[in-house]
Amino acid sequence: MRENQISTGRIIEGKEVFAVELTNSRGSKVKIFNYGAIVSSFVIKNAQGEDQDVVLGFDDIDGYLSEDYLANYPYLGTVIGRYANRIKDGKFSVEGQQYQLTQSLHGGTNGFDKKVWDILPTIDPSLTLQYTSPAGEENFPGNLTVQLTFKLSDEDELILDYHAVTDAATAVNLTHHTYFNLSKNGGNVGRYQQRIPASNYLEQDSEYIVTGKVLPVEGTIHDFLAGKSIGQDWDPQEGYDQTYVLDKEYKELGLASETIDPITGLKLEVFTTEPVAHFYTAKYLNVAKGKNGRDHHPFEAFCIETQHAPNSINIPEFPKTTLLPGETYLQTTIFKVTV
């Protein structure tokens, strides 16, 4: 067992849950559980030279397993799979065969976020987790093997590399649901400066399901091209829960989002090879006794979920989310924090 791999003492479905800590030359640290591939902390030096954790979570694994937390489950820091966000009516067809999923968010009632992943041998400072989803799990076809590698660079970049293969045609759309707050003591993110290099966003119906219609951001509350405060145009009761089509080539590693807290001076940049980014300002967040005993309320965090368009399995014009035998699903997303 690696020096940075610590047992939590928890066994779930016969598999041991570990916490793995990655560190870099600056003294920055990321803690990841192999349960749900959860990023539970990302500690960097702020402008005052103090350690500051920029992600929401719990001090230990028990918080992620508590009844109270699961009753109002926000996917704090988890991997999402097999399919991010929502699929219309939980139905899709692959190679002429129709499949009915549980009508649920983010991959079903027992998705990749609730699995204990295997820890593969790697060279520090990286961590590779692997999970094989059996055919029929959450009614998805095909045995799907996913590897997710985390690296922490000396530039305070948390790099996520995804790799997946299948033995039968299936639907795959993976992302990570890290909740960020760049303030020393938390609080509402409405004051943050936000830039999203996206000239278009995706129309959603009343159930937040992507319809296939691509709309220009110009003249709407969704225009973040030039940058503005998150709260400038939002409905303070709703915030943002919207998918943006990035102004870059799909598969090219490019900027998806830039967020700055004007008080702490911390900046989070997100880079991705994916075609879209879903911007969520945590309307439904309601977590008691997170790290350091702090409660988390709506709009006290934001997520940048890099992925293929939600429901694109049912929208032929969008980049495809079907994976065939012999093909490899690849995705890279980078979360970079600077002062």
Predicted local distance difference test score (pLDDT) of residue 125: 78
- The pLDDT value given to residue 106: 64
Q: Is residue 182 exposed (0-12), middle (13-18) or buried (19+ Cβ within 10 Å)? A: buried
Q: What is residue 166's DSSP assignment?
A: E
Angle at 286 between CA 285 and CA 287, to 5 degrees: 115
Q: What is the H or E stretch that residue 70 is in?
A: helix 67-71
Model confidence over 256-295: pLDDT tens digits? 999 999 999 999 999 999 999 999 999 999 999 999 999 9
What's the confidence (pLDDT) of residue 269?
A: 98
Per the residue annotation, which of 176, 177, 222, 296 is the catalytic one? 177
**pLDDT over 80 at 196, yes or no:** yes
pLDDT of residue 93: 92
pLDDT in tens, 305-322: 999 999 999 999 999 999
Q: Is 177 a residue of the active site?
A: yes
Q: How would residue 87 be classed by pLDDT, with cut points 50, 70 and 90?
A: very high
Domain definitions of the chain by residue range = 5-189+278-338
Q: DSSP secondary structure string, 169-238?
A: -EE-B-EEE--B--STT----TTSEEE---SEEEEE-TTS-EEEEEEE-TTSTT--SS-EETTSSS-TTT
Q: Tell me the mean pLDDT in the region 193-221.
A: 96
Q: Report yes or no on whether pTM surpasses 0.95.
A: yes
pLDDT at 155 over 60: yes
Strands (E), 34-90: 38-45, 51-53, 78-80
| Residue 110: predicted pLDDT | 84
* Model confidence pLDDT, tens digit, residues 47-69: 888 999 999 999 999 999 999 99
Mean pLDDT of 135-151: 96
d(CA 281, CA 335): 17
Nearest-angstrom CA–CA distance, 257 and 268: 8
* CB neighbour list of residue 75: distance below 8 Å, 6 or more residues apart: 106, 113, 177
pLDDT at 80 over 90: yes
Half-sphere exposure of 138 (CA within 13 A, CB side): 26
The answer to whether residue 115 scores a pLDDT higher than 80 is: yes
pLDDT-based confidence at 5, cuts 50/70/90?
Answer: very high
Structure tokens at 108: 């079903």
Q: Which amino acid is at 283?
A: K
Taking only the tens place, the pLDDT of each residue in 234-256 is 999 999 999 999 999 999 999 99
The pLDDT value recorded for residue 123 is 75
Q: How many CA atoms lie within 13 A of 91 on its CB side?
A: 4
Between vectors from CA 206 to CA 202 and to CA 210, what angle results, nearest 5°? Answer: 30
Assess whether 305 carries a catalytic annotation. Answer: yes
Mean predicted lDDT score pLDDT of the chain: 95
Q: What is the SS3 assignment for 26?
A: coil
Average pLDDT over residues 116-142: 93
- In DSSP notation, 113-127 reads GGSBPEEEP--SSEE
pLDDT for 107 beyond 60? no
From the candidates 138, 258, 300, 305, which is the catalytic residue?
305
Contacts of 221 (CB under 8 A, 6+ apart): 233, 234, 235
Q: What residues are paired with 201 via a beta bridge?
A: 215, 244
The share of the chain scoring above pLDDT 70, in percent, equals 97
Q: What angle do CA 308, 311, 312 make, to 5 degrees?
A: 55
pLDDT (tens digit, 9 = 90+) per residue, 8-37? 999 999 999 999 999 999 999 999 999 999
Topology of domain 5-189+278-338, CATH: Beta-galactosidase; Chain A, domain 5 (2.70.98)
Q: Is residue 190 within 8 Å of residue 299, measured between CB atoms?
A: yes
